[in-house]
């Protein structure tokens, strides 16, 4: 059963949470960001949570996060076609349609540059896409540099994603986890306890969707931990990139692991997808679960979540092999 209240806590705490939620909706009008520079530019911004770079080249604006002497692409938008999915993995997030083809309520943890949001809002104008973003500067840059305009259907709450999941009692058709800091996911968003909290917020036929990086040991622990909570898990590897999108459900039947059971791409297509999103291509991105390595991986919990350590092992190994 769905709850319509954005937060259900004690009366006093509920009022505070609702005020914070409404303030987050109004944040774009309250931010005092400087106007975007004319023409091409590069800006570097340090915040409490991130070291960010915003770069414009022609009509493309990229948001990148700096960490460990590298920069990870967080998001990008083509200002000449804001619905275009510039960053490839944002297309693969739509693999959730194969398991839940009617996403009326979507919770997304991680805003980035709202690369996913614009096409979703255009294709599903009556659906709610609630976003949670930890860093208020990311929202500011997204609005002022990347042209994103939050609405009543695409609100943004500025707070920790796990705290939002704990406090907000609504049920979701899709719950998307795409929260990175310089290429790394905060450890408390990687544990079996957090995934159980996410499962509790999903509708009976809801889908959990998570952006994983496939080139480290953390990848196998990610999969093992997700499978501890969700009995059915699909993996889609974005062509030409290291991103793998996990699509998981909390029920055992019906079986979603066979592509023959999925709705055909033509049935799922929306007019806004034309030239921007090829669902048949995403269908072909399905890959098998690496069972042997997943069995050998460590389960991530609130008491054991060495995310950056696991994420760096493979990187260091590759460096030593060069």
State the pLDDT at residue 305: 72
Are the beta carbons of 195 and 231 closer than 8 angstroms?
no
- Give residue 318's pLDDT: 44
Predicted confidence at residue 69, as pLDDT, reads 67
Residue 109 lies in a domain: yes
Residue 192 lies in a domain: yes
Q: Chunked in runs of 10, what are the mean pLDDT values of the chain (322 residues)? A: 36 43 44 71 93 96 83 92 97 98 98 96 98 96 96 97 97 94 77 98 98 90 98 96 96 96 96 98 98 96 78 46 41
Catalytic residue among 135, 168, 173, 178: 178
- Collect all residues with Cβ–Cβ distance below 8 Å to 228 and sequence separation of at least 6: 192, 195, 299
Question: CATH number for the domain including 267?
Answer: 3.40.50.150
Separation of alpha carbons 236 and 210, rounded Å: 10
Is the residue at 5 inside a domain? Answer: no
Whether 2 is covered by a domain: the verdict is no
pTM attached to this predicted model: 0.86
Does some domain include residue 156? yes
Q: Is 178 a catalytic residue?
A: yes
Structural domain count of the chain: 1
- Report the pLDDT value the prediction gives residue 35, as an integer from 0 to 100: 73
At 311 the pLDDT is 66
What is the model's pLDDT at position 308? 63
Its domain, for residue 76, covers 11-321
- 119 in a domain, yes or no? yes
């Amino acid at each position: 059963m769905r709850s319509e209240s954005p937060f259900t806590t004690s009366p006093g705490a509920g009022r505070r949470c609702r005020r914070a939620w409404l303030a987050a909706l109004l944040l774009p009008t309250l931010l005092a960001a400087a106007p975007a520079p004319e023409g091409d530019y590069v800006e570097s911004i340090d915040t409490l949570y991130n070291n960010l770079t915003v770069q414009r080249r022609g009509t493309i604006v990229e948001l990148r996060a700096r960490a460990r002497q590298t920069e990870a692409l967080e998001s990008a938008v083509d200002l000449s076609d804001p619905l275009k999915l510039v960053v490839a993995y944002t297309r693969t997030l739509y693999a959730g349609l194969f398991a839940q083809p009617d996403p009326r309520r979507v919770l997304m943890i991680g805003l980035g540059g709202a690369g996913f949001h614009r096409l979703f809002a255009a294709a599903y104008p009556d659906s709610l896409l609630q976003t949670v973003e930890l860093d208020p500067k990311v929202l500011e840059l997204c609005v002022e540099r990347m042209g994103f305009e939050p609405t009543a259907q695409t609100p943004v709450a500025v707070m920790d994603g796990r705290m939002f999941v704990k406090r907000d009692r609504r049920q979701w058709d899709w719950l998307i986890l795409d929260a990175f800091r310089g290429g790394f996911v905060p450890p408390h968003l990687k544990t079996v306890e957090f995934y159980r909290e996410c499962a509790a917020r999903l509708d009976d036929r809801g889908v959990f969707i998570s952006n994983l990086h496939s080139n480290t040991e953390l990848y196998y622990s990610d999969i093992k931990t997700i499978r501890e909570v969700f009995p059915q898990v699909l993996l889609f590897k974005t062509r030409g990139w290291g991103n793998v999108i996990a699509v998981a459900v909390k029920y055992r039947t019906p079986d979603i692991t066979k592509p023959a059971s999925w709705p055909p791409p033509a049935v799922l297509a929306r007019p806004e997808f034309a030239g921007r999103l090829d669902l048949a291509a995403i269908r072909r991105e399905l890959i098998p679960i690496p069972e042997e390595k997943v069995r050998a991986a460590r389960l991530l919990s609130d008491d054991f979540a060495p995310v950056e350590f696991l994420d760096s092992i493979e990187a260091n190994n590759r460096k030593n092999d060069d």
